[in-house]
Structure 1
Amino acid sequence: MSSKALTSVYDIDGKPPIKEAVPLAFQHVLAMFAGNVTVPIVVARGIGVDGEIGFLIQCAMLAAGIATLIQAFKIWKLGAKLPIVMGTSFGFVSTGIIIGNTYGLSGLLGACLIGGIFEAILGFFIKPLKKFFPPIVTGTVLLTIGLYLLPTGINYVAGGVGNPEFGAFKYLALAGVTLVTIVLFNQFGKGIVKMSAILLGIIVGYIVAIPFDMVDFTRVANANWFGFPTPLRYGLSFHWEAISAMLILYIVTAVETVGDISGITIGGAGREATDDELSGGVIADGVGSIIGAFFNALPNTSFSQNVGIISFTKVMSTFVVKIGGVILILAALVPKFGEVIAVMPASVLGGAAVIMFGSIAVMGIKLISSQPLGNREVLILAIALCLGFGFGTVPNALNAFPQSVQNIFGGSGIVISFFVTAILNAILPKEDSKDGFDIGKTLDHSA
């Protein structure tokens, strides 16, 4: 097969053979599965409905599968037609618990529904807002996402937050086995083996963990073989206080999605995202959350770890993530299958996360440096990263502000990075190119 033909198979419209597409799809599912099911677990426990956890996990998987298919297929303006894998957003956890404790699941899901409508409408205005998303802005957002995820990856490596043996050598060793396996397959493998390196590393890590009694299959044995998530099981109710808090968080989600889409096109295709891709992606984000609300799931958004996979493998085929979406739906309908993935040790995912999350940060750097970096750009980047990543990792520094403000600007710090970069980029005068500092030329001369 010629190199041109080989490339086309893995392009956006390419269709790899099923024997390749299925493993590549499983690679995406395994990468996001833990994050997708963790959100409903945390929220359910936070609002005292532990008995609903199994059902809410089913709902989360079904919503993620449907939303992923929407992004990949693109109908009219709905969807980016990019390999975007969707999942339940961590960004809504703290606010979701507060709303759930105040208004119950019906009030929480009602606010999610209205917020999804709001984000879908917002997506139609991405094109006139595109001027606020130059490479310095989207690159900084992407870099902040990557940096913010790094501690999460290390938490996985050490065994997962809440693990009584957190940081034990066995978890570090298991993550190391997974990481080394991925590197070996990626560097010395060829074809599908090279592209499936993350999947193969996770499988090897999973298998190694079993004889060391690091996997508990009790949940698998107790899970049902079949079950369908009943729509509107908890009903919908609407409360302005809950809705207003959600609307602001949906703006955050839209910003993250813009960053993820930019990361996919830069990391997988070496180009910037088009207006239609950004607009369609944000619209689909909102519609996915609307559908999720009907199926008792929290808001959906693009999953950044899967952006790292695309950067690592260069596989842009939407056919692959369509299969991934189908796998997620099947996991929702067959709970026992989903539990097999859910009981995977966190440190196995941690070994893969080191590469996936690091790749996101590197893509941000790549996007930022795609244009000459003058003193102005360095100043913008320095301030945005310090404030964004700083407040994101030290959210208590915002204790002087109301809880609603802390929920928006604390946590990941992505919103702060976005607003600081966008505002400074808009108001600071641009330098003459002759006075700028071109990092690319500087590196060439130093070499």
Structure 2
Amino acid sequence: MSFSERKNTKDGMAAGQKASVDNIYSLDGKVPVLNAIPFGLQHILAMFVANIAPILIVAGACGMDAKNTAMIIQSAMMIAGIGTLIQLFPIWRIGSRLPIVMGISFTFVSIACVIGGQYGYGAIMGAVLVGGIVEGILGLLSKYWMKLVTPIVAATVVTAIGFSLLEVGADSFGGGSSSADFGSATNWILGTVTLVCCIVFNIVAKSYFKQLSVLFGLIVGYIVALCMGVVDFSALSDTSLLALPHLMPFKMEFHADAIIAFVLIFLVSATETIGDTSALASSGLNRDVTQKETAGSLACDGFVSALSSVFGCMPITSFSQNVGLVAMTKVVNRFVIATGAIIMILAGIFPVVGAVLATLPSAVLGGCTIMMFGTIVISGLQMIGKCGFSQRNITISALSLSIGLGFTQLPDLFAIFPGIIRSIFAENCVAVVFLTAIILNLVLPKNMEVERQEK
């Protein structure tokens, strides 16, 4: 352990000897529970809708009834909480010990809809179980292949993640593209009011209260939505107060083509996790991520996803929107984030809690996430700047972002490729950016700058 690492550890222990709200900016300091809960709740509200949305889409594609859909949502909340706790407080080498919030991944939605429609939901669960174990093992063995992911590759992927989320934020701001009133005046008002409240609160609030600007905006936006009569409480009438998640609610099926497809998508998800972990260390802790942290983060992604399938749920991964929240607020305390994870677990045990949180309108959430996602873009650009603007780095970043962000805007460009290639790359700019950056990093000469000067 280096001197700086030992010093940080001692500082964390010293800070932890006395509970103080100022420790929210310290990874390990103690924070009073009553002060920690609002910050933890802020993290959960920022990702809650996105956590259950993939379940709703896949369940609909599989023709699942409302009872089974509700059961999977319940499991999703519990698994998200468990996964977050493991990231915060690792079990063996599984977990990063970083303030990473876990949730159900959107990355698998497309392929899950195809597999579910072809074989049924049980085949999805079988593929998730195998794919999760594969990613988990790759995480544990990452020291043998992580050298491929150089700082400039990681920085470029982080930037791509930020850009890819801008559309997600805009979609929420408009009310959700699947909603009948997308882009309506009501959604514009809710999104704008929420965004303005976040900004104003951040300007006028003092001390650590500034970091609760997102929670304040969500509360004000929710109150405005209640006054406008656009909050839907209909789902609460059919929600039970207490229910335990079910083990193996669906019979798993194992089909070779489904497993191969999911394993490939797990590799794509791993690239996003690498980027998220790098971005969090850079923007939240002002340092580079370590190999051990990346390995633990990937292992947690994989093995908790495998556990997720046992509860009938989709794969889990790090949530980029929460990385953006950390980048914006600089609140990195593990205990604070753990309070949010506990809220998620309680929401899984008490479904009515999740049902209440699910009434948060998309436009309100969009008003808060716009700035958060933009912060990830800036973090990626700062990481690129730290790598240096050599000719080689510029070529890797510029070409990777151009191809990744540009080509995926036109999915038909991938029409000549097999279906499985299209499902992985056609609309996933992060995967294309990562692959392009890796290839360029391998083939470009290390001394490009010298060669150019000699010529």
State the TM-score, normalized to the length of structure 1: 0.94
CA contact (8 A) 1:372 1:436 kept: no
Q: Distance in 1 between matches of 2:208 and 2:412?
A: 46
Q: Distance in 1 between matches of 2:29 and 2:121?
A: 41
- 1:169 lines up with 2:185 in the alignment: yes
The corresponding residue for 2:112 is 96
The corresponding residue for 2:427 is 411
The corresponding residue for 1:347 is 363
- 1:332 lines up with 2:332 in the alignment: no
Structure 2 residue identity aligned to 1:430: K
Structure 1 residue identity aligned to 2:90: K
- 1:371 lines up with 2:387 in the alignment: yes
Structure 2 residue identity aligned to 1:205: G
- 1:321 lines up with 2:340 in the alignment: no
| CA deviation after TM superposition for structure 1 residue 121, in Å | 0.4
CA contact (8 A) 1:41 1:53 kept: yes
Deviates more, 1:17-26 or 1:46-55: 46-55
Q: Secondary structure at the match of 1:196?
A: helix
CA contact (8 A) 2:239 2:352 kept: yes
| CA deviation after TM superposition for structure 1 residue 134, in Å | 2.0
- 1:312 lines up with 2:328 in the alignment: yes
- 1:34 lines up with 2:49 in the alignment: yes
CA contact (8 A) 1:119 1:283 kept: yes
Structure 2 residue identity aligned to 1:69: L
| CA deviation after TM superposition for structure 1 residue 131, in Å | 2.0
- 1:77 lines up with 2:77 in the alignment: no
CA contact (8 A) 2:392 2:449 kept: no
Q: Could you say if the C-alpha distance between residues 362 and 436 of structure 1 is closer, same or farther in structure 2, counting changes exceeding 3 Å?
A: farther
Q: Secondary structure at the match of 2:103?
A: strand
The corresponding residue for 2:32 is 17
Q: Secondary structure at the match of 1:301?
A: strand
Deviates more, 1:95-104 or 1:263-272: 95-104
Q: Could you say if the C-alpha distance between residues 436 and 269 of structure 1 is closer, same or farther in structure 2, counting changes exceeding 3 Å?
A: farther
- 1:135-167 per-residue CA deviation (whole Å, 9 max, x = no partner) reads 211111111111111111111111111111111
- 1:391 lines up with 2:407 in the alignment: yes
| CA deviation after TM superposition for structure 1 residue 61, in Å | 0.8
Q: Distance in 2 between matches of 1:360 and 1:272?
A: 15
Q: Distance in 2 between matches of 1:435 and 1:20?
A: 57
Q: Distance in 2 between matches of 1:410 and 1:189?
A: 44
Unaligned runs of 5+ in 1: 438-447
CA contact (8 A) 1:148 1:393 kept: no
- 1:105 lines up with 2:127 in the alignment: no
The corresponding residue for 1:357 is 373
Q: Distance in 2 between matches of 1:72 and 1:436?
A: 46
Structure 2 residue identity aligned to 1:25: G
- 1:47 lines up with 2:62 in the alignment: yes
| CA deviation after TM superposition for structure 1 residue 287, in Å | 1.2
Q: Distance in 2 between matches of 1:321 and 1:391?
A: 37
The corresponding residue for 2:269 is 253
- 1:309-345 per-residue CA deviation (whole Å, 9 max, x = no partner) reads 0001111111122111111111111111111111111
| CA deviation after TM superposition for structure 1 residue 396, in Å | 2.4
- 1:66 lines up with 2:66 in the alignment: no
Q: Could you say if the C-alpha distance between residues 174 and 287 of structure 1 is closer, same or farther in structure 2, counting changes exceeding 3 Å?
A: same
- 1:201-229 per-residue CA deviation (whole Å, 9 max, x = no partner) reads 11110111101011011112331111112
CA contact (8 A) 1:116 1:299 kept: yes
- 1:17-54 per-residue CA deviation (whole Å, 9 max, x = no partner) reads 21221001001100111111101100010111132221
Q: Distance in 2 between matches of 1:359 and 1:306?
A: 11
Q: Distance in 1 between matches of 2:76 and 2:427?
A: 22
CA contact (8 A) 1:84 1:302 kept: yes
Q: Distance in 1 between matches of 2:326 and 2:451?
A: 36
Unaligned runs of 5+ in 2: 1-10
CA contact (8 A) 1:145 1:412 kept: no
Alignment map for 1:201-220 (pairs within 5 Å)? 201-220=217-236
- 1:330-389 per-residue CA deviation (whole Å, 9 max, x = no partner) reads 111111111111111100000111011111111111111112212222222121011111
CA contact (8 A) 2:23 2:31 kept: no
Alignment map for 1:235-250 (pairs within 5 Å)? 235-250=251-266
CA contact (8 A) 1:374 1:436 kept: no
- 1:423 lines up with 2:410 in the alignment: no
Structure 2 residue identity aligned to 1:124: L
Q: Distance in 1 between matches of 2:164 and 2:239?
A: 34
Q: Distance in 1 between matches of 2:207 and 2:33?
A: 14
| CA deviation after TM superposition for structure 1 residue 432, in Å | 7.0
Q: Distance in 1 between matches of 2:415 and 2:73?
A: 33
CA contact (8 A) 1:373 1:436 kept: no
Alignment map for 1:118-197 (pairs within 5 Å)? 118-197=134-213
What value does the CA root-mean-square deviation take over the aligned residues? 1.8
Structure 1 residue identity aligned to 2:301: D
| CA deviation after TM superposition for structure 1 residue 397, in Å | 1.6
| CA deviation after TM superposition for structure 1 residue 434, in Å | 8.0
Deviates more, 1:345-354 or 1:214-223: 214-223
Q: Distance in 2 between matches of 1:410 and 1:191?
A: 45
Count residues with an aligned counterpart: 435
State the TM-score, normalized to the length of structure 2: 0.92
Q: Distance in 1 between matches of 2:450 and 2:206?
A: 45
CA contact (8 A) 2:392 2:448 kept: no
The corresponding residue for 2:240 is 224
Q: Distance in 1 between matches of 2:452 and 2:65?
A: 57
- 1:149-190 per-residue CA deviation (whole Å, 9 max, x = no partner) reads 111111111111111111112211211111111112222212
- 1:231-264 per-residue CA deviation (whole Å, 9 max, x = no partner) reads 1011212111110101101111111101000011
CA contact (8 A) 1:395 1:411 kept: yes
| CA deviation after TM superposition for structure 1 residue 425, in Å | 1.7
